[in-house]
Amino acid sequence: MSLRLYDTSTRTVREFAPVEPGRVTMYLCGATVQAPPHIGHIRSGVNFDVLRRWLTHSGYDVTFCRNVTDLDDKIIRVAASEGVPWFVVAERNQRAFTWAYDQLGCLPPTVEPRAMGHVPEMIELMHRLIDKGHAYASAGDVYFDVVSYADRYGKLSNQKLENMRAAGDTDTDSLKRDPRDFALWKGAKEGEPTWPTPWGRGRPGWHLECSAMATKYLGGTFDIHGGGVDLIFPHHENEIAQSQAAGDGFARFWLHNGMLQLGGTKMSKSLGNSLLIPEMLTKVRAVELRYYLVSAHYGSAIDYSEEALQESAAGYRRLEGFVSRAAEVIHDVDATAPLPQAFVDALNDDLNVSQALAVVHEVVREGNVALSQGNKEAVARLLAETQTMLGVLGLDPRSPQWRSSGESGLHEVVDALVAVALEQRQAARARKDYAAADAIRESLAAAGVVVEDTPQGPRWELAR
């Protein structure tokens, strides 16, 4: 079975094939950097990172473009309330997003364009639309003429133009030919940053940016466009209208991730402050947070609760525990181990990561049995499979991402020091000084090192 993906625009699961054999071009609507990210924002980045890794593992050369929207109404408001220019807010929050993506193990995008750096490309696109009769200038604004595109407008969001209502923006309705028209460009307003255009100074409409950036970096027709389900309408509908009306093929597959909810409602800033990434990383480790965010199907809603998070993290630690114990026995892991077919099938089935993780857990169960039986050959095979599968998902506990160079040096020091303490405990037992042996065990526990005696000798791990 080859990769099949649920395409929002056809509302079917379709066999995936790229425009150009061997190469995938992929655009993800990234952050509007008005505030630092909460896990709802990062869920999208992490899930599309898994898709990208899977495409790469499947042999494709992936060009992955994730944009930054560095100006919008909210950024202007935040900047005004702080008394700083808009770009100070944008820069600061963009760094916070990059940091969060990095922490969560998202591979860097091939290119990460900022919207306000693409005004010439937006002007060119507006020229093309005006020339073809799909857009018009009006008192410094430029609008897309939805009626000119009526037969195709609404396809992505499965609506008909005649059933759509206007946004009801009374400020601009008088400037529009039809109240359902949307702004490609907004004329200058007092106190707002502006760029020059043939129609006067102003700033971009949000939808226009993504059409301009996606086609600049990926070409007029590209393979996959991703984003949250909350972007289907109007943002993605309008991207399609702009680009296809201008003559581009635009995206061939539309993928949408579900929302992360708190108690059944979409996360908002007031609810979500406790879910900012630095806060989250006091609750669980980054790799555990990543595991939690990918373990539900990307398209489904997640109702966040700390209990579910901690349960999920415990699930990851079971996988990690096997890898760690098995690695004590097997020093030479076969990095080329083939993936179990059930794992491949799960990911090819519209990126069913929860099913793929069920396969990993099954292999780890077998691995633990093999370990307890001292079946080294089976342990070697099952460890290799586990690490390869987790590697594809960006979750291999022994990857450099999760064992940073700075820490790995210290991990080795900790390993050696624990060995010193365990030898002393052994020596104390040998001289029948059981009080001393117990004291060492207690001191270790106080240091965060939990020792368990097993028939194979003492095992230890760091308490979280």
Query: Which spans of this chain sit near a copy of itself (rule: CB under 8 A)?
Result: 63, 85, 87-88, 91-92, 95, 108-114, 116-120, 123-124, 195-196, 217, 404, 406-407, 410-414, 416-421, 423-424, 427, 436, 440, 443-444, 446-449, 462
Neighbours of 206 (CB within 10 A): 22
Residue 225 pairs in a beta bridge with 27, 254
Cβ 411 to a copy of itself, closest distance in Å?
7
The smaller minimum CB distance to a copy of itself, of residues 218 and 363, is found at: 218
The smaller minimum CB distance to a copy of itself, of residues 173 and 461, is found at: 461
Cβ 115 to a copy of itself, closest distance in Å?
9
The smaller minimum CB distance to a copy of itself, of residues 68 and 347, is found at: 68
Cβ 235 to a copy of itself, closest distance in Å?
22
Q: H or E stretch including 410?
A: helix 405-430
Phi and psi angles of residue 69, each rounded to the nearest 5 degrees, phi first = -90, 105
**How far apart, in whole angstroms, are the C-alpha atoms of residue 300 and residue 350?**
12
**How far apart, in whole angstroms, are the C-alpha atoms of residue 49 and residue 71?**
25
Cβ 3 to a copy of itself, closest distance in Å?
24
The smaller minimum CB distance to a copy of itself, of residues 58 and 424, is found at: 424
Cβ 462 to a copy of itself, closest distance in Å?
7
The smaller minimum CB distance to a copy of itself, of residues 16 and 48, is found at: 48
Virtual CA dihedral for 302, 305, 308, 309, nearest 10 degrees? 90
What tokens appear for 330 in the block?
Answer: 């097997």
Of the CA atoms within 13 Å of residue 265, those in its CB half-sphere come to 6
Q: Which amino acid is at 16?
A: F
The smaller minimum CB distance to a copy of itself, of residues 80 and 414, is found at: 414
Of 270, 276, 293, the C-alpha closest to 36 is: 276
210 and 67 Cβ atoms separated by less than 8 Å? yes
Cβ 9 to a copy of itself, closest distance in Å?
27
**How far apart, in whole angstroms, are the C-alpha atoms of residue 373 and residue 14?**
45
Contacts of residue 153, Cβ cutoff 8 Å, sequence gap at least 6: 146, 161, 237, 241
Cβ 232 to a copy of itself, closest distance in Å?
28
Cβ 185 to a copy of itself, closest distance in Å?
13
**How far apart, in whole angstroms, are the C-alpha atoms of residue 179 and residue 100?**
39
Q: Supply the DSSP symbol for 266.
A: E
The smaller minimum CB distance to a copy of itself, of residues 28 and 231, is found at: 28
Residue appearing with tokens 């309705």:
173
The smaller minimum CB distance to a copy of itself, of residues 196 and 374, is found at: 196
What tokens appear for 203 in the block?
Answer: 């700033």
